[in-house]
Amino acid sequence: MKRKLQSLTFWKIVAGIIIASGLYATYIRFTQGLGASTHLSDQFPWGLWIGFDILCGVGLAAGGFTLAAIVHIFNIKRFEPILRPTILTAFLGYVLVIVALLFDLGRPLQIWHAIIMWNPHSVMFEVAWCVMLYTTVLALEFSPVVLEKFNLTRPLKIIKRMTAPLIILGVLLSTLHQSSLGSLYLIVPEKLYALWYTPYLPVFFYVSAISVGCAMVIMESFLSSKAFKKGLEMNLLTEIGRIIVVMLAVLLTMKLMDLSNREAFPLLLLPRWETYMYWLEIGVGIIAPLVLLSIPKVRQNSTGLFAGALLVIIGFVVNRLNISITGMEAWAKVSYFPSWMEIAITLMIVTTGFVVFSLAARYLPVFKHGADPKAARPHGFEEELLYLSQSRHVEVV
Amino acid sequence: MKSQRALLIDTTLCIGCNACQDACKAQNHLPVGEEKKLTATAYTALEEHDGVFVRRMCQHCVTPTCASVCPVGAFTKTPEGPVLYDESKCIGCRYCIQACPFQVPKYEWSNNYPRIQKCRFCAERLAQGLPTACAEACPTGATTFGDRDDLIREAHKRIAAEPGKYIDKIYGVQEVGGTSILYLSSVPFEQLGFTTKLENMVMPMYTWNALSKIPSVVSVGGVFLYGIWWITNRRTEVQRLERSLENLDKKNTNHNDN
Ligand code: SF4
């Protein structure tokens, strides 16, 4: 118990430091501009905020549309118990992406211009619209939880009747913008390093988003099962593990075919920084989890499944950072490393996400289908943080 | 139709006097002082490559990448030739900086309400029928102003007249589908820091190829997903119906038993 408490205060302090430094960085960002707060430059105009907060943020929230499609369109209802928390994380994820965008945009107060000033030739325009619409769709998909809480039966009925079209709309919007984040880079054929630049960028972005979305579903289930002391739907998660195997296999095959079509295989052996980073991304994020999760014993074992999902997520993040940062450095002839303020603000945003999720999970019927509704109620905010701290230990092991 | 305005920059005539930059800075009210590369306060700059001076500036592409990538359409290609930036629209996403194949747009990083800065092709002067400030200031004729078609003809003439002096290429005729700034040189362009891979690469087509598929993805995808939903849910309906029929049967038998 004593150790528990120590660990708790430790993580409280860490969270406190993150929020405090994040707020200070926020102040500098909005009073002195991007130059004073970031390491961005004319040579390197997109950094950590685009690479991690936006590209990874949107991708990691892909569990929402994947699982919604599985449950409502493919009608595999046994996955329903984990749908609500997944939708909630997706919704929070998108809101945080928009928050991060406000930090990154040079003129954040004009963000609404995208609504009235159209340029349909711009990928960025399309992404902006999809993100806007999809965030609304996610809010509607999650709304039954809030409506249930306050016993508003009439709107609840209306929303329930809209479920199918809403889910279909969500899947379409996700398909569009998940892939379009890759299309953003189609315009820089001579800048992005050849290991990553391919006309198939949008397809790769889409397929990898689905696999990482599934990995996030597994991850979230683990985290919440610990935080809220509820059982783990191991059989469901094992099946999701299978989906990941398929998606990773598809992704790997496509990547190999693409490299061979572009005759880019020799690049894999060049002694360059990009080569190592590419191998890291493929090895950790695709090959390792593909092998691991193909083994039934690993897939059915909670630690094995967790490790597999974690690898997919790490590999995904490395991939997005490679495309947005590693792959652009050689051309720009500068090396970019984010400033401490860019990092602090990113960490603050992530921390906020965790906190809001646990609050929402505590006060709203998110785990409605949990085995025991009482058990689904967390034992307090402290426990949640504690649990988060423990999960970190697991990761280290 | 009148052809677009353009500049012909003959690097063999440039003596590196910096008059173009000075005139440009005066015209655009930019802080004075020589700058060696494009910045937010220098719309044009002279680069020296082995004794050859090369003027850098916005190329005012015929199909501009910046205009295609900007989500709010802050860039427009005017019929006269200039590619113009409207700061009142800009949201500051910096996609234009990222995408420009010539690394032209520069950002006011130290400004808390930053603008993109780049050459405006003296649009106001053009409207009055005047040449650009830089062309007017150039003492040697290294920068000449005119109609694009005329200037291309003039460039060909110069190459034909002195084939030993020039390499047989006008940079800007084919690059990214054509630019309004044309260059002549005595040495291969890659030696002057030009990107030579851009021939016929109309950049906006790269993204448009993907964007133009959206209607198909939405319509086919929508029908497909709805179809799957219809099939899978039909199965549930049938099951539900069967179950209720069974229940009914049971009730009936019970009833008969009584
Ligand atoms: S920074 Fe401004 S001008 Fe450039 S693409 Fe973004 S919104 Fe358009």
A residues 43-72 near B, CB within 8 Å?
43, 45-46, 69, 72
CA distance B251 to chain A (A): 29
**CA separation, residue A14 to residues A10, A195, A382, B31 (Å):** 6, 38, 14, 46
Q: Which residue of A has its CA nearest to B236?
A: A75
In a domain, A4, yes or no: no
**Is the pLDDT score of B235 beyond 80?**
no
Question: Residue A122 is nearest to which of B39, B71, B112, comparing CB atoms?
Answer: B71
ipTM value:
0.85
d(CA B45, CA B9): 13
pLDDT at B1: 44
Residue B73 has its nearest CB partner, among A45, A117, A180, at A117
Per-residue confidence (pLDDT) for residue A156, from 0 to 100: 87
Round to whole Å and give the CA distance between B150 and B158: 12
Class of domain B5-210 as given by CATH = alpha beta
Q: Which of A123, A126, A328 to mutate to test the interface with B (most CBs of B within 10 A)?
A: A123
Q: How confident is the model at residue B205 (pLDDT cuts 50, 70, 90)?
A: confident
What is the 8-class DSSP label of residue A269? G
Q: How confident is the model at residue B209 (pLDDT cuts 50, 70, 90)?
A: confident
Selected for mutation to probe chain B from A53, A122, A198 (highest B CB count within 10 Å) is A122
Residue A184: its chain B contacts at CB < 8 A?
A: 95, 207
Shortest alpha-carbon distance between residue A124 and chain B (Å): 5
pLDDT at B256: 60
Q: Do B112 and A187 touch (CB under 8 A)?
A: no
Q: What is the DSSP string of chain B?
A: -PPPEEEEEETTT-----HHHHHHHHHTTPPPS--SS-BTTBSSEEEEETTEEEEE----BSS-HHHHH-TT--EEE-TTS-EEE-TTT-----HHHHH-TT---EE-TT-SS--EE---TTHHHHHTTPPPHHHHH-SSSSEEEEEHHHHHHHHHHHHHH-TTTS-S--BTSSBTT-BSEEEE-SS-GGGGT---TTBT--HHHHHHHHHTTHHHHHHHHHHHHHHHHHHHHHHHHHHHHHHHHHHHHHHHHHHHH-
Closest CA–CA distance from residue B17 to any residue of chain A (Å): 26
Helical segments of chain A, H only: 2-32, 34-37, 48, 57-60, 63-68, 83-104, 113-116, 123-149, 153-161, 163-183, 201-227, 234-261, 273-282, 288-294, 296-300, 302-321, 327-332, 340-363, 373-376, 381-396
Q: Which residue type, as a one-letter code, is found at position B25?
A: K
- Residue predicted with more confidence, B245 or B55: B55
- A31 vs B226: CB contact, 8 Å cut-off? no
The answer to whether residue B213 scores a pLDDT higher than 60 is yes
CB nearest A121 (choices: B68, B103, B218): B68
Question: Higher pLDDT residue, B138 or A82?
Answer: B138
Query: Given CB atoms, is A78 within the 8 Å cutoff of chain B?
Result: no
Which chain A residues are within 8 Å of B42, Cβ to Cβ?
none
Burial (0-12, 13-18, 19+ Cβ within 10 Å), A379: middle
Query: In this predicted structure, what is the pLDDT of residue A211?
Result: 94
* Any domain includes A245: yes
For residue A316 the two structure tokens come to: 């995904």
Percent of chain B past pLDDT 70, that is, above it, reads: 97
Query: What does the domain layout of chain B look like in residue ranges?
Result: 5-210, 214-257
Q: What is the mean pLDDT of residues B5-19?
A: 91
Residue recorded with tokens 């979230």: A220
What is d(CA B230, CA A75) in angstroms, rounded to the nearest whole number? 10
Q: In terms of residue numbers, what domain contains A25?
A: 9-364
- A15 part of a folded domain: yes
Please give chain A's pLDDT, 397 residues, in tens.
Answer: 556 666 677 878 888 899 999 999 999 999 999 999 999 999 999 999 999 999 999 999 998 999 999 888 888 887 888 888 889 889 999 999 999 999 999 999 988 988 889 888 899 999 999 999 999 999 998 888 888 888 888 888 888 888 888 999 999 999 999 999 999 999 999 899 999 999 999 999 999 999 999 999 998 888 877 777 777 778 888 989 999 999 999 999 999 999 999 988 899 998 999 999 999 999 999 999 999 999 988 888 888 999 999 999 999 999 999 999 999 998 888 889 999 999 999 999 999 988 888 888 778 877 764 444 343 334 444 444 444 444 433 333 2
Task: Decide if A389 is inside a domain.
Answer: no
Q: What is the pLDDT of residue B233?
A: 81
Nearest-Å Rg of the Cα atoms of chain B is 30
Separation of alpha carbons A323 and B238, rounded Å: 49
Q: Is the pLDDT score of B186 beyond 50?
A: yes
Cβ count near A268 (within 10 Å): 12
Mean pLDDT (whole number) for B176-181? 91
Residue B96: per-residue pLDDT: 95
Q: For residue A264, tell me if it sits in a domain.
A: yes
Ligand 1 atom with the smallest distance to the CA of A113 is 7
Residue B147 reports pLDDT greater than 70: yes
Domains of chain A: total: 1
Eight-class DSSP state of A172: H
Half-sphere CA count of A394, side-chain side, radius 13 A: 17
Q: What residues pair up with B84 in beta bridges, in sequence order?
A: B76
| Distance (Å) from CA B83 to ligand 1 centroid | 13
In angstroms, what CA-CA distances link B12 with A177, B23, B166, B188?
48, 21, 8, 12
A370 in any annotated domain: no
**CATH number of the domain enclosing A283:** 1.20.1630.10
Residue keyed to tokens 């629209």: B89
CB contact under 8 Å between A110 and B92, yes or no, is yes
Residue B140 has, within 13 A of its CA and on its CB side, a CA count of 14
| Residues of chain A contacting B99 with CB distance shorter than 8 Å | 187-188
**pLDDT band for position B241 (cuts 50, 70, 90):** confident
pLDDT bucket at B85, cuts 50 / 70 / 90: very high
Ligand 1: centre distance to CA A113 (Å): 11
Question: How many angstroms separate the alpha carbon of residue B62 from the centre of ligand 1?
Answer: 19
Which ligand 1 atom is at minimum distance from the Cα of B92?
1
State the pLDDT at residue A187.
92
pTM: 0.87
CB contact under 8 A, B98 and A186: no
In a domain, residue A397? The reply is no
Answer whether A126 sits within 8 Å of B203, measured CB to CB. Answer: no
What pLDDT is recorded for position A389? 45
* Residue B208 pLDDT class (50, 70, 90 cuts): confident
Contacts of A227 (CB under 8 A, 6+ apart): A358, A361, A378, A383, A384, A387, A388
Ligand 1 pocket residues where CB is under 6 Å? B 69-72, 74, 90-96, 116
A379 domain-assigned: no
Tell me the chain B residues in contact with residue A183 when contact means C-beta distances shorter than 8 Å. 207, 210-211
Whole-angstrom Cα distance, residue B72 to residue A184? 15
- Report chain A residues whose CB lies below 8 A from the CB of B199: none
Q: What is the DSSP letter of A110?
A: G
Q: Which two tokens stand for residue A231?
A: 């059982």
Are residues A6 and A384 in contact, defined by beta-carbon separation less than 8 angstroms?
no
